[in-house]
Amino acid sequence: MSILPSIIQEKEVIVCAGSGGVGKTTTAASIALRAAIDGKKAAVLTIDPARRLASSLGLKALSNDPTRVDVKTFEKTGIKVKGELWAAMLDTKTTFDKVVQQYAPTPEQAERIIANRFYRNISGTLSGTQEYMAMEKLYELHADGGYDVIVIDTPPTRNALDFLEAPKRMTDFFESRVLRWFLLPYMKAGGGVMRMANVAATTFLKIVKRIVGTEVLEDTAEFFGNLEGMYEGFKERARAVARLLQSNETTFVIVTSPAEDSVAEATFFATRLNESGLPFGALVVNRVHPQIGDPVELKPRQLAKLESEDGAGRLLAKLIENEQSFRRVVELEEANLKELARKIPSHMWVRVPYLEQEAVDLPGLLAISEQLFH
Amino acid sequence: MTLDEFFAPKILIVSGKGGVGKTTVAAALAVLAARGGRKVCIAEVDQKGTLPKLFGGAHPGFTPKEMSPGVWGLKITPEEAMEEYLRVQYHMRRISKVFTSTHFVDYVTTAAPGLKDILVLGKVWYLEEGKAGAAGHRFDTIILDAPAAGHMLTFLSAPMGLSDALRVGPVRKQSDWMIEMLRDPARTRVHLVTLAEEMPVTETIETSEALRTSVGLNEGMVFANAVYTRLFTPTEESRLAKRGELDGELAVAAKAVGVELEEEDIDGLIGYARFLTARRKIQSRHLKKLKAKTEAPVVELPYLFSAGLGLPDIEVLADVIQRGIEETDA
């Protein structure tokens, strides 16, 4: 019995986490679909720019604000949905702009920040920004969206730690004393006295300036100058997000494939969730090679004889060769999963076999959903 | 194309999304280059340590280390690259230590994004020149296993971005040198690695297109990794789909060599054969799209069933790549 049916009944926020390329987005969408079928107002928020998700839901595109999947789309495919299914794709920049507008003391200051070049770089490239904004968007949808269930996938970060620590790292970054010390001579608010006090910083900056140029430093200083007075707001919000993630309204679903790398990441992630006091609900193992029938046992000599034949004998040799290859993979996968089994109790496991079709449409998602909730 | 032509550009950048087997392909290219007597350096950027797993031995550091005959490895971190850069360019040994502590590299690279990538490419440039930082080595082939994070294009177009952002100064001049190195077809080629799956194929097509147009780098080949090898003929596939009389024929053939086939045995044999056919069908749909939409030659690399890749697998892939190169029109 899958643990997922009880999760969608009891939880409001379901976070799907795991390494890249393990089918997180599809898993998140399939969970949300099932919640909608069961009568919930469900939303799936994806971080990955997975274009296929939009088309598989019969939508032209996904945006930062949720779009409802048309009732007619469900009718056409014969899927009975008692609730509603909504889908959104995170736009990091737009979400960040909204945060700035919300916490800036005046609209003018918000505009200055948004127009700043350093800010534009941050909202695009600083590691952790995407994770931070994902949490921000999740919080917003949970607080104001009126959804019964929100399912979110996480950014495909190599290191699961990135995602858990993103809000804290971002606020640390903004508040860093080191950075402010270096930039003081550039901040207008610094004034003459401060300049004098920072001879060391000035010397240091001269070198930096020689390397990257004045503009970069001025942009950076202007950004941090404008950010003055907004830190409390940021921090308060980060605390609220942390509270939501730790509450019993939330659960984490770890998604993995049986491949060595992603199993290692899943094991690590399970440990981290535990340490961070975050609620862990289920483990989904995707793309498991199937175990079919019984293995054929024969000696190499017998196989060699079959290979030398033609017709049915030759075909049988190829069938045996193919079966042996796949059984080796199955064995390898089981060995990889053994480590995970020591960490995660069996009632939390949900295994989804490698399906013979991709989830390119609603029936495809439904097929995965059935495997997940079986 | 001959192998000599393929390896004529000294710098090979191997790029691809995370999890597509980029490092494996980079390693196979290194082995192939070394077979021809070239002194090869393979540079890893991400700290995942796949290289030592493939070649055996300890993790390489910032100084090149021989991992297998003729193949040297090193790991480039922005911090070490920054320190070396300051030391070599500005003779600032002490101050460079301040930079590398205190997370300063984090801030500077955020203020000027692309700087991190430039530092990595700068190290490649040092290696190419055989200058300081190459530790006395002169390599014939330098293979850069590009970072997996973010979009491939972010990394490959970093020097252009930085060059646009900075009007003057030494970094501007150096990023121009970097662009020159990257855009010269006699010096650098970009090879892309993908899986026959939706997301990586889509990104590869986008990257390939952008390389030719906006970015202006020279694309080498596209390696489609982990493609299931065809085992059954179309006639066999349709017989396997129908089954029917086939069960009996297989049982008879097995009996002839002294093996009794139970129904569950045949279920397994046919089940896995159908599984292979179904997966191949999905893959070939994506491969068709990939080949139609990229101008670069696509070389398919086989899915290897072995338990955890090692040097013997790398040798197998090197053989396949060699055939792929030789079959490609120059």
Tell me the pLDDT tens digit for each residue of A220-236. Answer: 778 877 877 787 887 78
DSSP A289: P
pLDDT at A274 over 80: yes
Report the gap between the CA of B322 and the closest CA in chain A (Å). Answer: 25
Residues of chain A contacting B88 with CB distance shorter than 8 Å = none
Q: Buried b / exposed e across B158-173, counting CB within 10 Å, b at 16+?
A: bbbbbbebbeebebbe
What is the CB neighbour count within 10 angstroms for residue B187?
A: 17
Nearest to A322 among B256, B259, B276 (CB): B276
- CB contacts under 8 A, B 85-114 vs A, are 90, 92, 95, 98, 102-104, 106-108, 110-113
Q: Average model confidence (pLDDT) for chain A?
A: 84
Residues A293, B305: C-beta atoms closer than 8 Å: no
pLDDT at B99 over 70: no
pLDDT at B298 over 70: yes
Report the gap between the CA of B199 and the closest CA in chain A (Å). Answer: 7
Residues of chain B contacting A305 with CB distance shorter than 8 Å = 257
Tell me the percentage of chain A whose pLDDT exceeds 70. Answer: 82
Mean pLDDT is lowest, of A212-226, B234-248, B293-307, B313-327, for A212-226
Residue A96 and residue A129 in contact, taking contact as beta carbons nearer than 8 Å: yes
In whole angstroms, what is the distance from residue B118 CA to residue B163 CA? 10
B232 touches chain A (CB under 8 A): yes
pLDDT at A264 over 50: yes
Residue B287 and residue B298 in contact, taking contact as beta carbons nearer than 8 Å: yes
Report the gap between the CA of A213 and the closest CA in chain B (Å). Answer: 6
Residues A204, B273: C-beta atoms closer than 8 Å: no
Interface mutation target, options B199, B231, B255, chain A, most CBs of A under 10 Å? B199
pLDDT at B318 over 80: yes
Residues B276, A212: C-beta atoms closer than 8 Å: no
pLDDT at A50 over 80: no
pLDDT at A197 over 50: no
Residues A292, B306: C-beta atoms closer than 8 Å: no
Burial degree of A25 (CB within 10 A; 0-12, 13-18, 19+) = buried
pLDDT at A284 over 90: yes
Determine which helix (DSSP H) or strand (DSSP E) holds B291, and give its type and residue range. helix B263-293
Interface mutation target, options B235, B272, B277, chain A, most CBs of A under 10 Å? B272
In whole angstroms, what is the distance from residue A48 CA to residue A51 CA? 9
**Prediction pTM value:** 0.85
Nearest to A296 among B103, B252, B268 (CB): B268
Write out pLDDT tens, residues A198-212: 555 666 666 667 666
Residue B155, both tokens: 């990394």
Torsion angle of the four alpha carbons B16, B17, B19, B22, in this order, in degrees rounded to the nearest 10 = 10
Report the gap between the CA of B208 and the closest CA in chain A (Å). Answer: 18
Residue A326, both tokens: 């796949």
Residues of chain A contacting B145 with CB distance shorter than 8 Å = none
Write out pLDDT tens, residues A6-18: 999 999 999 998 8
What is the CB neighbour count within 10 angstroms for residue A173?
A: 19
Write out pLDDT tens, residues B166-196: 666 777 788 888 899 999 999 999 999 999 9
Residues A356, B250: C-beta atoms closer than 8 Å: no
pLDDT at B231 over 60: yes
Query: CA end-to-end span of chain A, whole Å?
Result: 6
Q: Using pLDDT thresholds of 50, 70 and 90, give the confidence band for residue B25.
A: very high
Interface mutation target, options B269, B281, B306, B313, chain A, most CBs of A under 10 Å? B269
Of residues B160 and A141, more confidently modeled: A141
pLDDT of residue A207: 67
Residues of chain A contacting B236 with CB distance shorter than 8 Å = 315, 318
Write out pLDDT tens, residues A95-125: 989 988 988 889 999 999 999 887 877 766 5
Average pLDDT over residues A139-145: 92
What is the CB neighbour count within 10 angstroms for residue A109?
A: 18
Report the gap between the CA of B136 and the closest CA in chain A (Å). Answer: 27
* Residue in A with minimal Cα distance to B229: A322
Tell me the percentage of chain B whose pLDDT exceeds 90. Answer: 53
Report the gap between the CA of A101 and the closest CA in chain B (Å). Answer: 22
pLDDT of residue B313: 92
ipTM score assigned to the predicted complex: 0.85
In whole angstroms, what is the distance from residue B15 CA to residue B136 CA? 27
Of residues A204 and B44, more confidently modeled: B44
In whole angstroms, what is the distance from residue B87 CA to residue B66 CA? 25
B236 touches chain A (CB under 8 A): yes
Between A and B, how many CB-CB pairs are < 8 A? 185
* Helical ranges in chain A per DSSP H: 4-10, 24-37, 51-56, 71-77, 92-103, 107-115, 117-125, 129-144, 160-175, 177-183, 191-197, 199-212, 214-227, 231-246, 260-276, 300-308, 312-343, 362-372
DSSP A58: T
pLDDT at A283 over 80: yes
pLDDT of residue A15: 94
pLDDT of residue B112: 62
pLDDT of residue A18: 85
